Amino acid sequence: MKLLLSLLATLLPGWAGACTWCRPRVRAGIYTPAYPANLLLVLLPVAVLLALGLGLFYWDKLRLYIAPARAARS
């Protein structure tokens, strides 16, 4: 049920949109000179989780590059 409501909320735009009078002020508040830094800070956890996931997925191949002497002995 929650999934259905979430999908419905994403398909029906305008619920969280600003009115035509407020929209310029809302956009001016979001797109400030600090916008790129804020965007990078928001996306940083995604990049960290992606790097961790890829590191775990390719661990057997990465292990040979990290410690080649130990991997050759075992």
Domain map (residue ranges) of the chain: 17-73
Average pLDDT, the chain: 82
pLDDT score recorded for residue 72: 56
Structure tokens at 16: 């969280």
Average pLDDT over residues 32-60: 94
For residue 61, what are the contacts with CB-CB under 8 A and spacing of at least 6? Answer: none
CB 10 within 8 Å of CB 4 = no
**How many Å apart are CA 20 and CA 10, to the nearest integer?**
20
Is residue 21 over pLDDT 80? yes
Percentage of residues of the chain with pLDDT beyond 70: 81
- Name the region of 3 (left: φ>0; alpha: ψ -120 to 50; beta: rest): alpha
Is residue 14 over pLDDT 60? no
